[in-house]
Amino acid sequence: MANNPETQHKILTITCPDGPGIVAAVTGMLSANGANITEAAQYGDPDTGRFFQRIVFTPGPGIAREAGFAAAFAPVAERFGMDWTLHDEGARAKAVIAVSKIGHCLADLLHRQHSGDSAIDICAVVSNHEDMRGLVEWHGIPYHYLPVTAETKPRQEEKILAVIEEAGAELLVLARYMQILTAPTGEKLAGRCINIHHAFLPGFKGARPYHRAHERGVKLIGATAHYVTPDLDEGPIIEQAVERVDHTHTPADLIAVGRDIECAVLARAVRWHAERRVLLNGIKTAVFR
C-alpha cells in the first residue's frame, strides 16, 4: 500500500543569510497550512552570517505534495533568499560505494544494509580491484571492476559517474577507495561524495601511516569523514572520532583500532547525510545530530 502523502513525515532543510524573523516565518507558514512540526533544529553561524535549519513535520492537505508545498513556501523562501530541500523522512538515499583492496568499511556498510540498520540503499559497488567481488555479489549487489592507471583515470571516472547516473544514486561513498578523484569529478560530486581517512592527516600522509604513528609514539588515533573537494583531504568535515592508545600497542593493534573507528565514523556520516542532517557551510558543515 502506498504511503499517504498527508501522513508521511517530511524533512525541510534551509540555508540562507541569517537575520531576524526566519524561524517565525517558516513555522508560521507550516502552521497556517495545517502542518504539525515533530522535530526542529536551527543554527545561525556568527562567522559566516549564514542560517541553517532542519524541520521534520507532518504536512496538511494543501502542502502534502511537493508542488503544493513549493507554491506555499515560495514567498517565504524569496523573502529570505533561501536555498531549501524537501524530502520524505523514511526515504533511503541511493548510494554507490567505491572500494579498493581494504574492505572493512565496505563490509560494515553492507552488513548494516543486510540487517536493516541503514539509511542508504547500496545500488552498486565500483572498484579498481577484484578483491571485494565475492563479498558484494553475496549481498546481491552489482560489482563493477574498473581498473585504472594514471593515463586512464579520466575515462575510468567517467565510467564511475555513469554507474552513479544509471543507478539513480545521489551519493558516492569512498570506503577506503585508494585513488584520488580528479578535480572535474570532485566538482561534479560536490556535496554528495563522502570519504573516510585516518585522522593522522596531515601529520602522517602517504603510505603506512599506522607504522609511522607507532614510530612516533602517538597517544590518540582516529578517523575523519568529510565531503570530497578538488583539494585533497581538505573537504568539509562531517564526523570525527578518536581512541586512546599507548606504548603497548603494536602497529597491528593500531590498525585494528583504526579500522573500527573508520567504520563507525563513516557509517555515522553516511547516515546523517541520508537523513538530511548535514548542511554545507562554506568549507565546513552544520550537522544536526
The rounded distance, in Å, linking the Cα atoms of 204 and 200 is 5
The grid coordinates of residue 176 equal: 577506503
Q: Which residue has the cell 578518536?
A: 242
Q: Which residue has the cell 548535514?
A: 278
Which residues does 6 contact at the CB level (< 8 Å), separation at least 6? 58, 59, 60, 61, 64
Catalytic option among 18, 45, 233, 260: 233
Cβ atoms of 14 and 57 closer than 8 Å: no
The alpha-helical segments, DSSP class H, found in the chain are: 22-32, 66-80, 104-114, 133-138, 153-167, 183-188, 209-216, 251-274
The rounded distance, in Å, linking the Cα atoms of 246 and 73 is 55
The alpha-helical segments, DSSP class H, found in 64-142 are: 66-80, 104-114, 133-138
Q: Which residue has the cell 585494528?
A: 256
Cα dist from 168 to 24, 123, 161, whole Å: 36, 8, 11
The grid coordinates of residue 269 equal: 556520516
The rounded distance, in Å, linking the Cα atoms of 63 and 59 is 6
**245-254 contacts, C-beta under 8 A, 24 or more apart:** 245/218, 245/219, 245/220, 245/221, 246/219, 247/217, 249/214, 250/214, 251/210, 251/211, 251/214, 254/210, 254/213, 254/214, 254/221
Q: Is residue 253 among the annotated active site residues?
A: no
Catalytic residues: 233
